[in-house]
Amino acid sequence: MTDTTQLVIRAEKPNFLGGENPFEAMMSRFDYAAKLLKLEPGLYKVLRHPEKTITVSVPIMMDSGEVEVFTGYRVLYNTSRGPGKGGIRFDRNVTMDEVTALAAWMAWKCAVVNIPFGGAKGGVVCDPLSMSINELEKLTRRYTAGIINVLGPDSDVPAPDVNTNERIMAWVMDTYSMHVGHTVTAVVTGKPVEMGGSLGRREATGRGCMIVACEALKEAGMQIKGARVAVQGFGNVGSVSADLMQKAGFTIVAVSDVQGGIYNKNGLDVQDVLNWRTTHRYLSGYPRAEAISNEQLLALDCDVLLPAALENVITAENAGDVKAKVIIEGANGPTAASADAILDRKGVFVVPDILANAGGVTVSYFEWVQDRGGYFWDEETVNNRLTQIMERSFRDVLEVSKKYNVNMRIAAYTLAIDRVAKVHRLRGMYA
């Protein structure tokens, strides 16, 4: 039996909607981009509304023998460019508003990197930490059965998100396959490699961050070699980014986790820090660095800041203290909308989340392609194709930013909304 604690990948995750509401934060940028594009009012209305929202009851028999009923959601925000794509989260704080915001986010992200997916998201309101592996399996299967009519390689393709992982994706795939009567690997991504997952998927988001960081430094006229980087969050995205950036020539001066950070002005040995984390779980106590707080990390004297933990960490209150010249948003929504103008005034070059962390969904797309083709690529092919897409997307966003004289965030939204709007116009209004 698997240890249940291994199922929970983001146990420290607090309420996503804490602080500034990310849906409003995103929509304020959406509105700005829509005005820039002079989006026609009808299309504006279409793109401001989710296409389909589903709420399901998820009754399961708990280990105690009692029946418990959970609530599950799935939102398909926009599928004009292809099947819905977006994760499933298990969390106490899941709400329909949050799921809708995240589904819209996915629609823009897929359009920025120009992969043929729309945006979707799902979630179940539950406390996975208090549930047994058996209960989690039942919850996953019953939730999947509840939303089965929208799922499918051509309609909606989930992936892991907060507190869900490849073990859970395997159950989603199995449940769907049992319902349709044959094995359908392409119905979810982020699966174990043994059953149709892609090589390179685990590192994809961090690799994407490293690739756009290199592009951003070139654009800012800065040297990669020796550029000092501070990384907030040392989980999947933060630790892989730090490791690959060090290999690319950057100097990682600070990293942090939920308990705080570590700093060494001469550079940390990332592999050594990874080894420490494996044996000690947290970074605190690491001997070859000094301890700093997460707040201090954000204000460190460095060249690149890579927030890779939480939403809303760079706010109107602390944006003025940021000394980095480049920010790579590994996390979703790390910068509050109210901080954008402050960073702009300081001349900070921000690579926004919907571009910077799109490496993950890009390799999810590769997984779906490989499953549908039944032909699997080696890791080098995956990484090379990811590099091509990230570099091209960076250039596309940069071009829009120069054309409209806007920052990279507004440029990314503008590019995404333009791509989605063009497809709507080409398809025309049905009825």
User: Which parts of this chain interact with ligand NAD (CB under 6 A)?
Assistant: 9-10, 12, 205, 232-238, 256-258, 294, 308-310, 330-332, 357, 360
- Minimum distance, C-beta of residue 209 to ligand NAD, in the bound complex (Å): 9
Between 8 and 217, CB nearer to ligand NAD: 8
Which of 204, 8, 180, 199 has the alpha carbon at shortest distance from 89?
8
CA distance 375 to 372: 8
To the nearest whole angstrom, how small is the minimum distance from the Cβ of residue 289 to ligand NAD? 16
Q: Which helix (H) or strand (E) holds 39?
A: none
Q: What is the spatial distance between Cα 124 and Cα 163, in angstroms, rounded to a whole number?
A: 10
Q: What angle do CA 372, 375, 379 make, to 5 degrees?
A: 115
Instruction: Please give the helix or strand (H or E) that residue 40 lies within, else none.
Output: none
Residue 56 vs 75, nearer CB to ligand NAD: 75
Q: How far is the CB of 148 from ligand NAD (least distance, A)?
A: 25
Residue with the two structure tokens 């979707």: 120
Distance CA 157, CA 369 (A): 12
State the minimum distance, in angstroms, from the CB of residue 347 to ligand NAD: 25
The rounded distance, in Å, linking the Cα atoms of 259 and 294 is 8
Q: How far is the CB of 195 from ligand NAD (least distance, A)?
A: 19
Residues marked as catalytic = 121
Pick between residue 237 and residue 302 the one whose CB is nearest to ligand NAD.
237
- H, E, C per residue of 279-336: HHCCCCCCCCCEEECHHHHHCCCCCEEEECCCCCCECCCCHHHCCCCEEECCCCCCEC
Is-contact 338 362, C-beta < 8 A? no
User: Which residue's Cβ lies closest to ligand NAD?
Assistant: 235
185 vs 236 by CB, closer to ligand NAD:
236
Which tokens is 299 given? Answer: 């204000």
Angle formed by the axes of helices 270-280 and 236-248, nearest 10°: 150
**Whole-number minimum distance, CB 8 to ligand NAD, in Å?**
9
Question: How near is the Cβ of 323 to ligand NAD at its closest, in Å?
Answer: 18
Calculate the CA 270 to chain-centre distance: 23
Identify the sign of the CA torsion 281, 202, 120, 428.
positive
171/234 with CB nearer ligand NAD: 234
Burial (CB count <10 Å: 0-12, 13-18, 19+), residue 46 = middle
Helices (H), 198-248: 204-219, 236-248
Our CB check for ligand NAD shows the closer of 176 and 234 to be: 234
* β-bridge mates for residue 15, sequence order: none
Nearer to ligand NAD, 265 or 277 (CB): 277
